[in-house]
Amino acid sequence: QEVIALLKERQLEVEDCGCNGERADYPVIAKAVGTAVASHPGDMGILICGTGIGMSIAANKIRGIRASLCADAFSTKYTRLHNDANVMCMGARTLGSGLALELVEIFLDTPFEGGRHENRVNMITELEKEW
């Protein structure tokens, strides 16, 4: 809920695909967010589960998604700069809310650097097509 509040504070459109505190299977949530992001290039998604690992594995099965586990500022910055990640995954059991909110800000504010990294992102896209 704190992440949603931050996004709304930044006047961003929010589509909450979460479980509203109920038990849920993370692949179902990852699919909902991943398909929404993949069908709207330029959109971004945020997925949260216990560790963020399951969400990142599930979301990365969706063509067009580059989901990254974000647990520190450096990795969060560089997954945007170099990988053009469009979905960030975080662990509710591994991060405090202060750090999580800081990582969301970094993820949203860091642009894709392009250049030599664009070639690599294109290679990832080709892998999706091949497999």
Q: Are the CB atoms for 59 and 47 separated by under 8 Å?
A: yes
pLDDT digits (tens, 9 = 90+) for 28-76: 999 999 999 999 999 999 999 999 999 999 999 999 999 999 999 999 9
Quick check: 94 pLDDT over 80? Answer: yes
Rounded to 5°, the CA angle 75-130-17 comes to 50
Report the 10 Å Cβ neighbour count for 22: 6
Query: Using CA atoms, how far apart are residues 117 and 114, in angstroms rounded to an integer?
Result: 5
Catalytic positions, written as ranges: 49, 82
0.85 exceeded by pTM = yes
pLDDT of the residue at 21: 74
Length of the chain: 131
CATH number of the domain at 2-130, out of 3.40.190.10, 3.30.10.20, 3.90.850.10, 3.40.1400.10? 3.40.1400.10
pLDDT of the residue at 73 = 98
